[in-house]
Amino acid sequence: MSATLLDGIVAHSVTTPRLTANVLERAGEGVPVVFVHGNVSSAQFYMPTMLALPAGVRALAIDLRGFGDSETLPVDATRGLRDFADDVISVLDALGVDRFHVVGWSMGGGVTMQLMLDHAARIESVTLESPVSPYGFGGTHGPGGTPNDAVGAGVGGGAANPEFVKRLQDGDTSDDPQVSPRAVYRSAYVKHPENVPNEDLWVESMLSTKVGDDNYPGDSAATELWPGFAAGTRGILNTMAPAYCNLSGIADLPVKPRVLWIRGVDDAIVSDTSFFDINYLGQLGVIPGWPGDEVAPAQPMVTQTRAVLERYRAGGGSYTELAWDDCGHGPHLDKPAEFDAALAQHIRG
């Protein structure tokens, strides 16, 4: 595909020793702001935010492997989110970018935390927008991210809705209210889709997701534990399985960039009651056979993030949490003026 661009945004193809990546840019000078998109999306989602940055600020948004117009390469989930983070830093190295501000949304927030673990000394500031928990997505409990079991039951590639995966693969742009990408965008990405412009652009971005066991959603493994599947070793959803993803070490970094955490109170995806957490859906009775809270508790995603950031602060770092009412998973879409102002203030320091 060739992404539809807003006026003021240009696209570059950047080849590194790791991959050929598509990079969107808003021209400017000085330390750039680097945007890392989330799952089932692309750099396109951040174009309005890039354009809203203060005059003269350079902005870069990188399509992760298997998304947008970047190269489609296998994702080794046993490295957690490090395949993506290593790709991002390789692009910045190729562009000659040493220091940078970084903004990560959802899964991209996890990629951003991995960048903190590996390259904190290069980061001016961090903005986490509705980030995945530092302990991954699903399969843990308590503020400290204790695994529910030894195999990662109910997490990873098997958690994706097969019909939604098929709709992505087929390039479905319909407004079928069940599992079309457009319906998922309207019900899960934002709280008020009727107020958010450029919906066709966001659906186009979602449909750039490459489908397969090595990409989205990834493979899965069978288990006797409910609900019958566990994390595989390949593909995107498995990168956030707790067996491979633990980013809580950011609390112990010797160098701690300033952190701004922005989230929507009505987030349906990253929440202490996430409608994408198999165990929470079992608790609600949506998925039958749930074995109970002692065996398969829902993941307190926001609580876990706050606990890690409190340790970050206690260790000499700083963070600010902004939780906005009447706002969903994409605060930069639901409340763009507030998001743009908060981000501009944060990068100014």
Render pLDDT for 113-128 as a digit per residue (tens, 0 to 9).
Answer: 999 999 999 999 999 9
The answer to whether residue 90 sits within a structural domain is: yes
pLDDT band at 2; cut points 50, 70, 90 = confident
Mean pLDDT score of the chain: 97
- Mean pLDDT for the stretch of residues 229-239: 98
Contact at 8 Å (CB) between 123 and 262?
Answer: no
pLDDT at 335 over 80: yes
Question: Residue 309 belongs to what domain range?
Answer: 10-348
Count the domains in the chain.
Answer: 1
In the chain, the amino acid numbered 258 is R
Contact at 8 Å (CB) between 278 and 155?
Answer: yes
The answer to whether residue 19 sits within a structural domain is: yes
Q: Which of 105, 94, 137 is nearest to 36 (CA)?
A: 105
In the chain, the amino acid numbered 48 is P
Distance in angstroms (rounded) separating the CA atoms of residues 204 and 330: 16
pLDDT at 194 over 70: yes
The answer to whether residue 241 sits within a structural domain is: yes
Question: Quick one: angle between helices 107-119 and 82-94, nearest 10?
Answer: 70
Render pLDDT for 68-85 as a digit per residue (tens, 0 to 9).
Answer: 999 999 999 999 999 999
The answer to whether residue 312 sits within a structural domain is: yes
The answer to whether residue 82 sits within a structural domain is: yes
Distance in angstroms (rounded) separating the CA atoms of residues 149 and 19: 35
Distance in angstroms (rounded) separating the CA atoms of residues 251 and 273: 24
- Mean pLDDT for the stretch of residues 237-259: 98
Distance in angstroms (rounded) separating the CA atoms of residues 112 and 211: 23
The answer to whether residue 3 sits within a structural domain is: no
Render pLDDT for 161-192 as a digit per residue (tens, 0 to 9).
Answer: 999 999 999 999 999 988 999 999 999 999 99
Distance in angstroms (rounded) separating the CA atoms of residues 164 and 180: 6
The answer to whether residue 277 sits within a structural domain is: yes
Minimum mean pLDDT among 1-15, 34-48, 129-143, 313-327: which range? 1-15
pLDDT band at 1; cut points 50, 70, 90 = low
For residue 235, the model assigns a pLDDT of 98
The answer to whether residue 259 sits within a structural domain is: yes
Give the Å distances, CA to CA, from 205 to 40, 71, 171, 285: 8, 15, 11, 32
For residue 254, the model assigns a pLDDT of 98
Render pLDDT for 263-307 as a digit per residue (tens, 0 to 9).
Answer: 999 999 999 999 999 999 999 999 999 999 999 999 999 999 999
Q: Which of 42, 33, 38 is nearest to 4 (CA)?
A: 42
Output the domain CATH number for residue 226: 3.40.50.1820
In the structure encoding, which two tokens stand for residue 340, read together? Answer: 């743009």
